Structure formats: structure tokens, C-alpha cells
Amino acid sequence: MQRLLPAAIVAVAALVAGCGGSPDTGAPATADQGPQTGTITFTGTDNAETYQPVIKAFEAKNPGIKVTYTQIPFDQFNATMQQRLSAKDAAIDVYTVDEPRVSQLAAKGFLTDLSDLDAKVKTSFSATAYKTNHFRDKLWSLPMWNSTQFLFYNKTALAKAKVTPPTADPEQRWTWEQVEAAGRKAMQSGGTKYGLFMEQPEAYYQLQPLAESLGGGSGIEGDDALTPAVETDGWKKAMQWYGATFASGLSPRGIGGFQTGPVFAAGDVAFFVGGPWDLKIFGSSKVDWGVAPMPYFQGGKPVTPTGSWSVGINPASKQQGMARKFVEFATLDPAGNLATTSTTTIIPANLEAQKQYTPQMDKFSGAKTAGAAAITTYESEHTAVSRPVSVGYIQFEEVMGKAFADIRNGTNSDARLQEATRQLTDAWKSIK
């Protein structure tokens, strides 16, 4: 029996092993480009099929270089990468970078400096994309995709409930109040279980526009962008409304991140807020549906999310040269950038590629997706607000994600936002 005591120590010590290593700051521009041919690894969150076309095109253009793709599910991606990059894992050459995380990843020395591509990047991408991939006047990653959000609606359920559905015209955009009222009607007489559902109900990306629509700001302020500001009137109002949609049963609790889309596809919800990728995914659903612009609050202004994944190079990679070739092909080369969007329908970030891509969006799922192209263009020109650029964004997203989950589950939203302010202040103490 005495042997158990050491066993306990060993068991706990085993967990300690994962916590080793300390990050260093500022990645030096690597002089050693590594071999000219070989195999590089590319790590991201999407299914392997998503990147097959771009990898194939790249390999055809660069004989002797092979690319292997590794998928890490979105829920675990950031934490796993943090762990592997801080351990200087050379088995990752190229990886996808969520745009608001660029600052912190760069500050931690997890990205190779790409500043020599600056001029090229400035002309190939939008000003927003150009800016978000910079930190301390240096370029750290190359924008691959862009995104926006749509309001998907169940045509059959709305017709049954005798509700005139929203149109695709951004000038006729619905308010959240209208969506709520129509959603309730659909629950009463349209045959749906729920009225409204967000695709990522606990993600800052989708909920920031609620607060911004009411003038609540991004939630981060200050010169160093390390001061929490999530208790503004806009944030409080938006979260009171959001919490109430769950308390009243308009939206379901307890259905997690990647189980949300199927709820709409199965016809169980009248309105669904989702991204361009859903334009094709829902195509296989038996439900008849349409797309409209993302709603805003009555008396507020229309605001939509934007930004998506960039790609960057791991400074610990021993194959910098080949990795460089791949990230340039997948982003700066319009054909390569387009190839990244042929399986999963997401907007390419390269402006040249975007020009060719956007018009096709109307036909992703036949007549159902009519109007998607015009909405996409309109939102990117008028309503898109990116997530805040802050070296503390990673902590911010983490803390806010938990706050949104609690508000969803019925915690008083004002008190929970106050709690989030305290948690952010605590978490950012170690950064300052």
C-alpha cells in the first residue's frame, strides 16, 4: 500500500512535464533557410479536405516539396499551439493564425518576421487585413481569408407562421427586435423548437457586434489596449438582451459550439446567424432557407464581424525557405489563395482572388443563397468592425468566452460583466 504514495507523486508530476519551457521575446529573422526540397507540415483547424486543393496546386508548382496537413479541432487549437510553440516544436512549419492573436503570438516569439513582404501585402489585401497582421510595425503573418455573417432563415417555418421573411437588401436590414418577434411566431405556429440561434453562441467574434451595434465599444480600451471596458451601457444592454433570449427559450441552452449548425439544418430553429461556410453546408439540408444581412439593434447601427485566419511561420521550423514559399502561395498568389476557398466556402483575403470569388457566392446553394454576394460586398465596405488589436486579446477572448457561457446559462449579465472586468484586470497583470 505504501507504494501508492510515490505513485501519486508520479501521477501528478507527469502533468507537470507539460508545463515546462519558457517563451522568449522577439523572434530573430532566421538566416538559415533550410533545405530546398522535402516535406513541410501545416497545422490548422479545418478539415483536411479544405486544404487539399491548395496543397495539390502548390506541390505541382514546386516539385520536390511536399506539404502534410494536421488538423487540431478549433476548441483545442489555441491551447495546443501555445503548448507546442512554447516547447519550440520544429514539427510545425506553417500554422493558421487567428488575426486578433497576431500581436500576442508575435510578442511571445511564436512567429517569423515577414516584414520584407510588407509592400506586396499592402497592395494585395484590404487596409484592415494589412493592419491586423502587424505588431510593433512589423509584419508577422499573411492574411488568408476574410469572413462575414449572415442571417439564415427557415422559409417554410416563416411561411407557416405567416411571417414575411427578411430580404437580402442591406438597406432593409432587420433589427434584433424584429427577429425576436418573428422567431416567437415561428415557435408558436411555424413548427420550430427555437426562434433564434447563433452558430457560436459563446464566441466573442459573433457577440462583439451586439455590443458595438449599441455603441458599447469593443470591450478593450487604453493606449496599451489593456484596459477592460465591458461594462459600458452598450455591453450591458446587449448582454441583458442576449441572456433573455436563452431564459425565455427563444434560443437553446446546452448545445455546444459545433452542434449548432445541425439544429438549423434539421429545421428546428427559425433564424440562425452563421458564416459564409454555411452557404454550402446548409445546401444539403432538406429545409428551404434563405439569407439576409446580420441584424442590428433598433436605434443602434449595423455592425458585422470580419477577419479570419492568417498563416504564419513557426520560428522554430528548420525549413524556413520552403515554409515561406507555401505561405506566399496560399495568400499572395491569387490562384493559390482561391484554391484555399474551393472546398470550404470562405472569402479569400487576396483582393484579386476576392474579385473573382464574391460573385460566385450567390450560387453556392442554388436560389437559396441569392443575395449573398451583394451582402458580402456591402458589409465589408460599410459595417465590418474587426476584433480589437491587443497584446492581451488571447486572455480577453478566454475570459469573455466564459462570461458569455455563464450569461447564456442564466447568470445576471451586469454582475457577470463586472466579474469579467476583474478577471481581465487579473489576467492582464502578468502582461504589463
Partner 1 sequence: MKQRQGLIALAFLAPALVCLAVLRIVPAISAVVESFYTESLLRGGRVFAGLGNYTDLLSNKDFRQSIGVTLLFTVLVNPIQVAVSFLLAVLFTQRAAGAKLWRTLVILPIATPPAVSAVIWSVIYRPDGLANGVLERLGLPAQPFLTSPSQVLPSLIVLLSWIGVGYWMLFLIAGIQEVPEEVREAALLDGAGPWRRMVSVVLPLVRRPLAFVLVADTVSNLLVFAPVQILTKGGPNGNSNLLMYDVYSRAYAIGDIHVAQAEVVILVALTLAIVAGQFRLLRGDQ
Q: Where along the sequence are the contacts to partner 1 (CB under 8 A)?
A: 1, 4-5, 7-26, 75, 78-80, 82-83, 86, 104, 107-108, 193, 224, 252-256, 259, 391, 394-395, 398, 401-402, 405-406, 408-411, 422-423, 426-427, 429-432
Asked if 387 and 396 touch (Cβ cutoff 8 Å), the reply is no
Shortest separation between residue 126's beta carbon and partner 1, angstroms: 28
Nearer to partner 1, 284 or 430 (CB): 430
CB of 288 to partner 1, least distance (A): 22
CA atoms within 13 A on the CB side of 232: 20
Q: How far is the CB of 412 from partner 1 (least distance, A)?
A: 10
Instruction: Specify the pairing of strand 134-135 against strand 142-143.
Output: unpaired
- Give least dist CB 17 to partner 1, A: 4
Residue 271's H or E segment, with its range, is strand 269-274
H helical segments located in 214-258: 233-247
C-alpha 119/C-alpha 116 separation (Å) is 8
Give the contacts of 330 (CB within 8 A, at least 6 positions apart).
54, 58, 142, 144, 311, 336, 337, 339, 340
In terms of CB distance, is 19 or 31 closer to partner 1?
Answer: 19
Cell numbers for 328 = 506566399
Residue nearer to partner 1 on the CB measure, 165 or 392: 392
Q: Which residue has the cell 458569455?
A: 404
Query: Between 107 and 239, whose beta carbon lies closer to partner 1?
Result: 107
Dist CA 37 CA 39 (whole Å): 7
Nine-digit cell string for 58: 502548390
In the complex, minimum distance from the CB of residue 32 to partner 1, in angstroms, rounded to a whole number: 24
Question: What is the residue-wise DSSP string for 183-200?
Answer: HHHIIIII--SEEEEESS
Say how many CA atoms lie within 13 Å of 94 toward its Cβ: 29
Least distance from partner 1 to the Cβ atom of residue 88, Å: 14
In single-letter form, the type of residue at position 238 comes to: A
Q: DSSP letter string over 384-409?
A: B-PPP--TTHHHHHHHHHHHHHHHHT
Nearer of residues 135 and 176 to partner 1, judged by Cβ: 135
- 101 vs 368, which CB is nearer to partner 1? 101
User: C-beta of 11: minimal distance to partner 1 in Å?
Assistant: 6
Q: Choose between 106 and 361: whose C-beta lies nearer to partner 1.
A: 106
Q: How far is the CB of 63 from partner 1 (least distance, A)?
A: 39
Q: Which is nearer to partner 1, 137 or 171 (CB)?
A: 137
* Beta-strand relationship, 269-274 and 194-198: parallel
List the Cα angle 226/228/231 in 5-degree steps: 165
